[in-house]
A = this chain, B = another copy of it.
Amino acid sequence: MPDNSGISAALVRLSFLVQRLYAQACSRHDLSPAQAQLMCVIKDQPRGMTELTHMLGLERPGLTGLADRIERRGLLRREVRPNDRRTVMVSLTRTGKKVTEAFYAEVTASLQGVVAHLPADERQQFEETAFSIIMAEQVPAIFGDFEAAGRSAV
């Protein structure tokens, strides 16, 4: 019977589980977690490099290298903006989009499996609480259906 202080342990271990399943899905697509994360963020829309550093919590040189390695595999494309020629917009290639969508579907299925044993009302309550934490903490939209009503990006 967990006491009140146990919620921290619960959060850390739950996070560990999610990371493990996420990493397993990455492996199946020959992606690193960092690569997959970037690809999920730009899945539905191009983003600028600086914007991406904010969303992913990286410094710019790290993002440059990360984008390089994905680009080298033909999954990502960079384009200079005509308006401001300093900025680079990053998007997925057709192949990159396919890979990302397959990866995304697998992670979704894997995580749904993890809560499948819960009663529907408990699952629903859990999701609502999780979202309320995410919203309160302004967690960036690094995964999810960014276009869905009521859950807009960043």
Q: Which residues of A contact B (CB under 8 A)?
A: 1-20, 22, 57, 107-108, 111-112, 114-115, 117-118, 122-134, 136-137, 139-145, 148-151
Contacts and interface: CB of A to CB of B under 8 A. Distances in A.
Number of copies: 2
Of the listed residues A7, A11, A117, A128, the one surrounded by the most CB atoms of chain B closer than 10 A to its CB is A11
A151 B13 CA distance: 13
A34 to B, nearest CB: 12
A131 B9 CA distance: 9
A92 to B, nearest CB: 18
Given A8-B108, A144-B12, A137 B114 contact: yes
A123 B122 CA distance: 13
A7 B112 contact: yes
